[in-house]
Amino acid sequence: MVDSKKITKSLVDVVGPTRVTDKDFDLVSYGRDLSPAKQKLPTHVVLPETREEIQEILAIANKHNVPVYIRGGGTSHWDAFLPQEPGIMLDLGRMNKVLEINERDLVVTVQPNCTWAKMDKELRKKGLTYLCSEAGGPAMTVGGSVMKAGGGPHSTAKFGFHGNQDVITLEMVLPNGDIVQTGSAAWPSAGKFERQCLGPDLAGMFLGAEGILGICTELTLRVRPAVDFRERMSAILPTLDDVVEFGHFINRHVGDEYLQGIYLWVAPDNPDLFFIMMDIFGYEAEIVEHRKKKILEKIAELGGEMADRAPVDDYYDRILTGLTDLFTAGVWHFFGAGSLRIDDIKFLYKIWREELLEKRGYTKAGFGGQVLPRRSLAFMVTNYKEPEEWEGLVKMADAIDELTLKGPVVPYGVGGRDGLRQIVASHDTGYYRLLKTLKKTLDPKNILQRGIFIPEEELR
């Protein structure tokens, strides 16, 4: 039995009394994320400011066999940081600085809880930007987005998920307290300019692992000159086959995509209307006009119709400046989601239409998708306001997830017992076995994110 007061005293010895709490009225605010996951309370919340403090906290956790859960901005949609059992919540909110902007190498180094908005504000003072933005907007944290390899509809058509190509180096604190630098930063005299060197790409091991292998304390990203040219369009395409063909068209020239962002939306009350919003990228006015001309020609060739631009400006501007009204409709739930080939978006659409709308008669969930470089991310999304809706919604979403992941879909985000963990764990693949081996090797007491991604019983 763990002595909670003893843990409290040990944590206070590390960070002082003002950055530790074990009071119920404080803990309750850390018990939910933005998903329908049930409330899960930590026993302690601690706010470190340095990697050395994190090392000492992990030493305490290892000594007392207490799990540590990592909280960034708190915007997970799939139970990805909530304590699956009582333990210490590591709130990284104070590690939020922009550490360095290197204008010559075009990289920026930040602490994990620096927000996209804060980073972009500093970059734009120097005529630079990151270009990408999470779907949750600029209030999301850079570290949280990268550690889950996330993304949104703005710029992912050109640059893909966070971490796919723009992460240069990481600083990670391992469960045993060791500090690891990846990429060129692993050679201290070299600097931060290259991701893969000195052997395998270790950064890739941490990206998407949702914190189970280490805690990110610093990261360096590729940045680009800010673009002053903005052209956005919307269109309605006749069929889903036309959407697929358009997806292939816009990024057939890999690395020279016609669009930086494209977002598909199909409303449940009109499942035959395929509405797409587009954000054109280019550093020269002539390039933007050329891409616009090609896009207009392709939409006409497919029999599509151009639509009002105003909703597109509103949507993308809110993605970049804040989505303060996003959750007024209730708690949002993304399900039936994953990465897939562009052609296979039809598989998910069929499940949404036949299994959700027609068979179950559930008409509150829309179907959406984003085209990425040579692939797509597609999802179903709904919301609820009343607590009594919760059980039915989650049961239905779990059934849809089961159907989805039997097809050509790779899960997007795993999370704990109220996420996709059980479904992923049921597939005894070589990948999953290797992940468990890595976890056991790096974290023999299963301190970090216990129960996230891998069920506890599978690590015994």
**pLDDT over 90 (residue 157):** no
Count of beta carbons in the 10 Å neighbourhood of residue 229: 14
What was the pLDDT predicted at 112? 96
- pLDDT tens profile 259-272: 888 999 999 999 99
One-letter identity of residue 317: D
Tell me what the mean pLDDT of segment 89-116 comes to: 96
- CATH architecture of the region 98-225: 2-Layer Sandwich (3.30)
Q: Positive or negative CA dihedral for 430, 435, 438, 439? A: negative
Name the band, by pLDDT with cuts 50, 70 and 90, for residue 298. Answer: very high
Q: Kindly report the average pLDDT of the chain as a whole number.
A: 90
Report the pLDDT value the prediction gives residue 1, as an integer from 0 to 100: 65
pLDDT of 120 higher than 60: yes
Residue type, 232: R
CATH 3.40.50.450 matches 4-91: no
How far apart CA 243 and CA 304 sit, in angstroms, is 10
Question: What stretches of 213-293 adopt beta strand conformation (E)?
Answer: 215-222, 224-225, 231-237, 259-266, 274-280
| Rounded-to-integer distance, Cα 116 and Cα 459, Å | 35
For residue 321, give the H/E element and its range: helix 310-321
Closest to 415 in 3D by CA, of 98, 116, 76: 76
**pLDDT of the residue at 137:** 63
Evaluate if residue 295 carries a pLDDT over 80: yes
Q: Tens digits of per-residue pLDDT, 299-333?
A: 999 999 999 999 888 877 776 666 566 656 667 78
pLDDT at 323: 58
Query: Which residues of 49-164 form beta strands (DSSP E)?
Result: 68-71, 88-91, 98-102, 107-110, 128-129
| Top-ranked range on mean pLDDT: pick from 123-137, 166-180, 423-437 | 166-180
Min mean pLDDT across 13-17, 87-91, 131-135, 148-152 is at: 131-135
Domain boundaries, the chain: 4-91, 98-225, 231-411, 421-459
Instruction: Name residue, tokens 């996230």.
Output: 452
- Amino acid symbol at 209: A
> Does residue 97 register a pLDDT over 80?
yes
pLDDT in tens, 14-56: 999 999 999 999 999 999 887 778 889 999 999 999 999 999 9
pLDDT-derived band of residue 255, with 50, 70 and 90 as boundaries?
confident
Backbone angles phi and psi of 5, in degrees to 5: -70, -35
| Within this chain, domains 4-91 and 231-411 share the same CATH topology | no
* CATH architecture of structural domain 231-411: 3-Layer(aba) Sandwich (3.40)
What local confidence, expressed as pLDDT, does residue 276 receive? 96
The amino acid at 128: L
What pTM did the predictor assign?
0.92
